[in-house]
Amino acid sequence: MPASDMPQALSLPKLGLGTWRMGEDASRRQAEVAAVREALAMGYRLIDTAEMYGEGGAESVVGAALAEALRVGDVRRDDLVVVSKVYPHNATRRGTPAACARSLGRLGLERIDLYLLHWRGSVPLAETVEALQDLQARGHIGRWGVSNFDVDDMEELWALEGGAGCAANQVYYSLGERGPAHSLLPWLQARGVPLMAYSPIDQGAIARDPSLAARAAELGLSAAQLALAWLAAQPGVVPIPKAVQSAHLRENLSAARQVLDESTRAMLAARYPVPSRKPPLAMI
């Protein structure tokens, strides 16, 4: 493909906020809206959600927080990157625009900035790509991308008409799950496609690792911060930790600004090595 026809690489903030497990329980809704609201006020500019999370509940939590943050001027719409995802079984020619319209309604927005196929299902990929391109042409989404795609899926996508318009791949990548570093991350980096790292603190587990915590403390960081700083420093990698607790939100955002020295990076590389053979892509 001539360079002039290459789609523009998507520029994303260094770290975003995840929302899985939000919107599932009405008794927690107020705290969750307040958390997303607080995140926006403290400077988060990328919010990741999906129609799957709480069956629309998480999008509605995000929508309520966004409406208030935009109203009081904590954030400008153009500075925000709102990411949502379509279920594979909805990702048909007709189902995709219908799902997107429902998501837009819950988010209270006219555009989803980045809309991902959540994982591969039985709908032909070419049909989904066409539907996503159509949504983009109509301005309902800014860009489209994929999630849980391994190298072979990406190659299949790249071979499709317009497939290289994919703006991101969101996969499980963390200190605890180093698989993508073997070949998927280099593949994406070579093409300028961001890897959004989900479950970047292994759903909280890495934060509870006492020896990592001890090493992080020497640097004045928490274990979660060390894990996030390590991810955010890798070219094209954007971690999206989920947090509701205020202290977690603050810790995580500031982690993206930490610069790790060579000896810390070497220690992490030795403790959490890249697998010598390519493992299958892990999914949560």
Point out which residues bind ligand NAP (CB under 6 A): 18-20, 48, 118, 147-148, 170, 198-204, 207, 222, 224, 240-245, 248, 251-252, 284
* Min separation Cβ 39 and ligand NAP, Å: 11
Q: What angle do CA 13, 17, 18 make, to 5 degrees?
A: 130
Q: Which is nearer to ligand NAP, 2 or 220 (CB)?
A: 220
Q: Which is nearer to ligand NAP, 2 or 210 (CB)?
A: 210
Cβ–Cβ < 8 Å for 125, 148:
no
Q: Which is nearer to ligand NAP, 3 or 257 (CB)?
A: 257
Q: Which is nearer to ligand NAP, 205 or 266 (CB)?
A: 205
* Min separation Cβ 50 and ligand NAP, Å: 7
* Min separation Cβ 170 and ligand NAP, Å: 5
Alpha carbons 284 and 276: distance in angstroms, whole number: 22
The residue of the chain with the least Cβ separation from ligand NAP equals 18
| Secondary element (H or E) of residue 113 | strand 112-117
Look at the block and give the residue holding tokens 């309520």.
64
* Min separation Cβ 282 and ligand NAP, Å: 10
Region label for 98, one of left (φ > 0), alpha (ψ between -120 and 50) or beta (otherwise): alpha
Q: Which is nearer to ligand NAP, 109 or 221 (CB)?
A: 221
Q: What is the DSSP string of 78-109?
A: GG-EEEEEE-GGG-STTHHHHHHHHHHHHHT-
* Min separation Cβ 74 and ligand NAP, Å: 20
Distance of CA 135 to the CA centre of its chain: 20
| Secondary element (H or E) of residue 48 | strand 46-48
